[in-house]
């Protein structure tokens, strides 16, 4: 973790295509990293407002709902809006992705 960062959960670097949905439509992007509490998504012309609700759909991690917490140079960061059980399931998926275990992830 870089000096000054206050992350509570480890982020795992990924590079996976996603579909982003909001009330206006559907967009394509790339999942850049993911953790228990949120994710970073990049892509051309992705402009969302802070606190905007949206869904990110990933083949590897399923449909993830949440809110934009900040804009990034090439996309946005989001915080998930999930119950604890769904977050635990996500942790299992992330752990499998990182370890390359029998989940089929590279």
| pLDDT tens-place string over residues 37-90 | 899 999 987 889 999 999 999 998 899 999 999 999 999 999 999 888 888 888
- pLDDT, residue 97, reads 62
Domain 12-90: CATH architecture, name and number where available: Beta Barrel (2.40)
Residue pointed to by tokens 């993911």:
34
pTM exceeds 0.85? no
Compare 101 and 96 and report the one with higher pLDDT: 96
Residue pointed to by tokens 């982020």:
11
Contact 31, 58 (CB under 8 A): yes
Domain boundaries, the chain: 12-90
- pLDDT, residue 9, reads 59
Taking residues 91-102, report their average pLDDT. 64
Taking residues 88-94, report their average pLDDT. 81
Return the SS3 of 35.
Answer: coil
């Amino acid at each position: 973790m870089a000096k000054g960062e206050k992350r509570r959960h480890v982020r795992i670097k990924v590079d996976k295509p996603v579909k982003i949905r909001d009330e206006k439509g559907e967009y394509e992007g790339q999942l850049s990293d993911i953790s228990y509490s949120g994710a970073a998504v990049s892509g051309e012309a992705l402009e969302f407002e802070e606190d905007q609700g949206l869904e990110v759909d990933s083949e590897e991690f399923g449909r993830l709902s949440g809110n934009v917490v900040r804009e990034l140079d090439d996309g946005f960061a989001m915080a998930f809006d999930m119950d604890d059980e769904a977050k635990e399931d996500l942790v299992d998926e992330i752990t499998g992705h990182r370890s390359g275990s029998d989940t089929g992830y590279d």
